[in-house]
Amino acid sequence: MNFKKGIIVTWVSIVLNIGLFAIKYWAGIVSHSVALVADAWHTLSDSVSSLAVLLGLKFSNMPADQRHPYGHGRAELIASLIVGILLAVVGFNFLADSIIKFKEQAAFNFKPLAIWVTVISIVVKEAMARYSIYVGKNIHSNSLKADGWHHRSDAISSLVILIGIFIGSKIWWMDSVLGIFVSFMIFYTTYGIMKDTISVLLGENIEKEMKDEIESIGLNIRNNLFLDPHDFKIHHYGNHSELVFHIRLPGDYSLAKAHAIASEYEALIEDKYSLEVTIHIEPVE
Ligand SMILES: [Zn+2]
Ligand SMILES: [Zn+2]
Ligand SMILES: [Zn+2]
């Protein structure tokens, strides 16, 4: 089953985040680094984001039931929203930290231990980002891809902290300015996640290529008979989509004949796309 791959990725993310939390917290205490302890708590909170993805994937794969006849596919979109909101919070925190650092002209004073932990964190987070985005694309999971972008944002913000450690002593404003830049990058990523998710939730129009393809399928059903497909409505429920549209048939056709044409048309479209198709028939005089 495809979604199992997604479940495995989210579990790996959760376990690695808890592991990183433990290392950062320990190193932060040992090296008396407030910044590293704060980063440790952030890393622990990242598990919540992956947990939302995990629950979204599990729910969205539950079969349709009496109360939810269209399945539970949209649960995954809700998970994407949660991931997006958590990422926005990360962006705000990073922006606030960077502005405070700029005002106080403070440079982080990291010990070698803290530097090593930060390097490990960058490598692990970027690996998690690649893994999540790769599998997310593979199983068409927006929430998993979004979580991958969160991992990448974490890697980049740690990289900025690292840059600050090495050149902060020479150019004091460098890491705060980079930090502000990175927080806007995080906001932009959040915007992308939210825009895609909300657009699908609100309901999108049928794509033009699909409409054209459906029109050309219609031309082959009865030679020379123009079915005039129109009024397309498509509803996406995660892994399940419903398509409804109208066709026109001669008014003197028997009900059986008209129904046979509509059924054949529905079947041909369902063969090509994973859709549930319903056709409404109108008579032309
Ligand atoms: Zn994070
Ligand atoms: Zn109509
Ligand atoms: Zn029928």
Q: What's the pLDDT score for residue 38? A: 79
- Asked if the domains 3-202 and 208-284 are classified in one and the same CATH topology, the answer is no
Mean pLDDT over all residues of the chain? 86
Q: How many whole angstroms from 225 Cα to the centroid of ligand 2?
A: 17
Enter the CATH code of domain 208-284: 3.30.70.1350
Q: What's the pLDDT score for residue 132? A: 94
Q: How many whole angstroms from 90 Cα to the centroid of ligand 1?
A: 6
Q: What's the pLDDT score for residue 109? A: 61
pLDDT per residue over 85-106, tens digit each? 988 988 898 888 888 877 876 6
Number of C-beta neighbours around residue 159 at 10 A:
18
Q: What's the pLDDT score for residue 126? A: 96
Percent of the chain past pLDDT 70, that is, above it, reads 96
Q: Is pLDDT larger for residue 277 or for residue 165?
A: 277
- The answer to which of 161-170, 204-213, 235-244, 264-273 has the lowest mean pLDDT is 161-170
Q: What's the pLDDT score for residue 223? A: 74
Distance between CA atoms of 245 and 256, rounded to whole angstroms? 19
Identify the three-state secondary structure at position 111. Answer: coil
Q: How many whole angstroms from 145 Cα to the centroid of ligand 3?
A: 39
Q: What's the pLDDT score for residue 263? A: 93
Distance of CA 8 to the CA centre of its chain: 17
Q: How many whole angstroms from 216 Cα to the centroid of ligand 1?
A: 48
Percent of the chain past pLDDT 90, that is, above it, reads 32
pLDDT per residue over 202-220, tens digit each? 877 888 888 889 988 888 8
pLDDT per residue over 130-162, tens digit each? 999 999 998 888 899 999 999 998 898 888 878
Identify the three-state secondary structure at position 101. Answer: helix
- ipTM over cut 0.85: no
Q: 3-202 belongs to which homologous superfamily? A: Cation efflux protein transmembrane domain (1.20.1510.10)
Q: How many whole angstroms from 204 Cα to the centroid of ligand 1?
A: 30
Mean pLDDT of all residues in 24-37: 82
Q: How many whole angstroms from 251 Cα to the centroid of ligand 2?
A: 14
Would you list the domain boundaries of the chain? 3-202, 208-284
Q: How many whole angstroms from 262 Cα to the centroid of ligand 2?
A: 14
Distance between CA atoms of 235 and 221, rounded to whole angstroms? 25
Tell me which residue of 221, 210, 88, 106 sits closest to 164, measured CA to CA. Answer: 106
